[in-house]
Homo-oligomer: A and B are copies of this chain.
Amino acid sequence: VITTIAGGVGAARLLAGLVQVVAPSDLTAIVNVGDDLVLHGLSISPDLDTVTYTLAGAINPETGWGLVDESWQARAMLDMYGGVSWFGLGDRDLGTHLFRTQRLAEGADLVTVTREIAAAWGLELSILPASCDPLRTMVTLAEDDPTDTDTPPLPAGTEISFQEYFVQRHHGVPVSAVRIGGADVALPSPGVLESIGDSEFVIVAPSNPIVSIDPVLAITGIREAVTARRSDVIAVSPIVAGAALKGPADRMLTELGHDASVVGVAALYSGFCGTFVIDVADESRAAEIESLGMRCIVTPTVMRTPALAADLGRTILDAMRGRS
């Protein structure tokens, strides 16, 4: 089994590449749940859904989240009522949240529900929420955030949930701190530590280091389990040429005092990761990464197409299997 620690879009693309070069049943994805939220009474797990929908070939290709062939009738009604509608819930996507919420209310845990959803989509890889316990990534605003058409103003120092920062406020405001709420008491989902320990090797997907990867590692015991496999851990940089391909990872790194570069991410990962994959655009930084005690692989990492994602998957396999 090969285990991947995953956030949303970037991780989903890499996994979609890996299933082309490894039997899907040999893959396990341990997925961030720090972005999860309860909205309108519904339990929503954005990263789990992005991974599931992408691997099912059902992701909305225009947005990178949500489902293809989506309609928005429920949201139109919410808008008519003046309700909370900053989090885009399509009608088909709602079916997933309704199912998850009902099953959780019936007493099923998130691992079981996630497995049921993946099975309904015909997926063979194992998608594991990092924890079944509530985990909430919280972001502290570094500056006053002025009001927007549908968001009230907030003063500097206010702590808001990741989705309020990311979706409601379009990650447009600088942050001064990130806290993984609940991480001190959350336990890894059943199978997570075993999957890391028994895996042929562990991939850290090209996801946001601060709000996708760290919330997984922050759960009791996971960082230690990954660190114990350090020589078998390979991470793909989510930063290419100083910028995030998607989302605010570059700005967040800078705002939190890190270097928004492959070297900055490698420095964050060097304690638990032995091999670091950077894009050819960052080839000149390879020596700096090696000076952190990591092996550095230079290869195209921008997964514009499924074929490019498969190439990256093959490169990772070669890098980890070709050792000796």
Contact = CB atoms under 8 A, between A and B. Distances in A.
Nearest to A103: B83
Give the contact-size bracket for chain A: 35 or more
A94 interface: yes
A112 interface: no
Contacts of A97: 40
Interface in A52-97: 70-71, 73-78, 80-84, 89-97
Contact of A75 (B39, B95, B102): B95
A41 interface: yes
* Most B C-beta atoms less than 10 A away, residue of A38, A80, A98: A98
Contacts of A42: 40-42, 98, 101
What is the predominant secondary structure among interface residues of chain A facing chain B? Answer: helix
A70 B74 CA distance: 10
Contacts of A75: 95
A83 B102 contact: yes
A253 interface: no
A80 B95 contact: yes
Contacts of A73: 70-71, 73, 90-92, 94-95
Contacts of A91: 71, 73-74, 91, 94
Interface of A: 38-43, 70-71, 73-78, 80-84, 89-99, 101-103, 105, 116-117, 120
Given A40-B98, A71-B73, 4 more contacts: A41-B41, A71-B91, A74-B95, A78-B98
